[in-house]
Amino acid sequence: MGGYFIFRRDLFWVSGEEGKGVTGYICGEINGFGVRVVKMIVLLPVVVFFFILEAPFFTKKGWGFLFKLLKSFLLGELRNSSREKLERFPAHLHINIAPGLQDKGLGSDLMAVFLRELELRKIKGVHLRLYGDEEGGAAYRFFKKFFFREAERRKVTFFPKEESKNRFLITMVREIEGE
């Protein structure tokens, strides 16, 4: 999340507890520029460095993952949402709460701060992407509590075979302005 912090500190909140350190964060982007920069300048070198350092491509499992990821990319499973959808919901968010501290209200507190900031800035909508199963999963249910609705669902094929459930890349959206 360093890229978000570097490019959009004004949309980055961190929670913490003495003795526990960082317990969660929420961050976002309004116009998509920072997200593209993060992907190109921050994420891509990290992924490349990981593959060079860890050399997972030397293993059968590593090659299998790379092949599945490439296949997903070529099939369009990972493409961004439509430009029209992103114009209607220009803000993007990412939230993470430390394991063991979820379901204690921390995520709800961070979400309230983030949504209030978007409302103050008169942003008309926000979108997010998550991975889920047929029912969506815990994160999906969390966002539904905040009136996010599913806008798009694509089956993804790069998850390990050991997972018995189908996995989906789900785009969720929420209107902000005028609430």
pLDDT, tens digit, 9 for 90 and up, residues 102-147: 888 899 999 999 999 999 999 999 999 888 887 888 899 999 999 9
The pLDDT of residue 12 is above 90:
no
Closest CA to 7 of 35, 44, 45: 35
pLDDT at 114: 93
pLDDT at residue 49 above 70? no
Buried b (16+ CB within 10 A) or exposed e, 83-109: eebbeebbbbbbbbbbeeeeeeebbee
Residue spans of the domains in the chain: they are 2-175
Per-residue model confidence (pLDDT) at position 178: 57
> Which fold would CATH assign to domain 2-175?
Aminopeptidase (3.40.630)
**What's the pLDDT score for residue 40?**
58
- The DSSP code sequence of 94-153 is EEEE-TTSTTSSHHHHHHHHHHHHHHHTT--EEEEEEEE-TT--HHHHHHHHTT-EEEEE
Return the structure tokens found at 90: 């220009």
pLDDT attached to residue 134: 79
Residues 137-162 as b or e (16 or more Cβ within 10 Å = b): bebbebbeeeebeebeebebebbeee
State the average pLDDT over residues 37-43.
57
**Residue range 47-72: average pLDDT?**
64
The predicted pLDDT at position 153 comes to 87
- 140-177 pLDDT, tens digit each: 999 999 999 999 888 877 665 555 577 888 889 999 86
Mean pLDDT of 68-93: 72
Q: Which residue type occupies 86?
A: L
Residue 1 pLDDT more than 70?
no
Q: Which range, 72-76, 83-87, 101-105, 139-143, has the best average confidence (pLDDT)?
A: 139-143
Tell whether the model's pLDDT for residue 38 goes beyond 70.
no
The Cα 87–Cα 67 span in angstroms is: 33
Residue 87, pLDDT score: 77
The pLDDT of residue 120 is 93
